[in-house]
């Protein structure tokens, strides 16, 4: 299968190299670009990062970006969705389209409050059992990317 649709995975200040490596592998398998934004909680040369991504690194367009505002300026006509546990807007209700950006926060604290307030109409969540904090970051990315692909007609 050759996936023509392109979604963009944005990891804002990711902290765990294994999660980022797993997401790079997912991106290779789903034709997504990956943007690493802000301060990383690990070195790009981390063996854990490389091991989790296996030999998929050369198959993915990975870009380092200083701040989210840089992406907004570079892609002013794109839709950015912000994944959080702090909204009731289900990710399945979004109308994903080619070129959308899926923004995920750091594992221990999620996206900043100011950003979620400023972009509240684009906040999305994955339903979970009450009393649970959150899914693993790489699992969350996979859930949302595959929903976006499903909506785009990839079968």
Instruction: State the pLDDT at residue 125.
Output: 97
- Average pLDDT score over the chain: 91
Q: Give the model confidence (pLDDT) of 58-100 as tens digits.
A: 789 999 999 999 999 999 999 999 999 999 999 999 999 999 9
101 φ/ψ angles, rounded to the nearest 5 degrees: -110, 130
For residue 46, name the pLDDT band (cuts at 50, 70, 90): low
For residue 103, name the pLDDT band (cuts at 50, 70, 90): very high
pLDDT mean over 30-42: 93
Instruction: State the pLDDT at residue 48.
Output: 58
Pair 124, 91: CB distance under 8 Å? yes
What are the extents of the domains in the chain? 8-151
Tokens standing for 128? 């979970």
Pair 74, 102: CB distance under 8 Å? no
Which CATH architecture fits 8-151? Answer: 3-Layer(aba) Sandwich (3.40)
Pair 96, 3: CB distance under 8 Å? no
Q: How far apart are CA 37 and CA 48, in angstroms?
A: 19
64 φ/ψ angles, rounded to the nearest 5 degrees: -90, 135
Instruction: State the pLDDT at residue 57.
Output: 73
| 3 state SS of 82 | strand
């Amino acid at each position: 299968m050759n996936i023509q649709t392109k979604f963009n995975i944005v990891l804002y200040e990711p902290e765990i190299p294994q999660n980022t490596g797993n997401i790079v592998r997912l991106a290779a398998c789903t034709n997504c670009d990956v943007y690493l934004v802000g301060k990383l909680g690990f070195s790009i040369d981390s063996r854990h990062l490389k091991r989790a991504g296996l030999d998929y690194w050369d198959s993915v367009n990975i870009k380092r970006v200083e701040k989210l505002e840089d992406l907004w300026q570079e892609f002013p006509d794109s839709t950015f969705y912000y994944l959080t546990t702090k909204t009731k807007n289900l990710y399945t209700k979004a109308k994903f389209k080619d070129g959308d950006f899926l923004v995920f926060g750091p594992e221990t604290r999620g996206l900043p409050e100011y950003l979620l307030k400023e972009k509240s109409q684009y906040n999305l969540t994955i339903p979970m059992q009450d009393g649970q904090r959150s899914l693993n970051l790489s699992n969350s990315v996979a859930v949302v990317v595959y929903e976006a692909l499903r909506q785009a007609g990839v079968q």
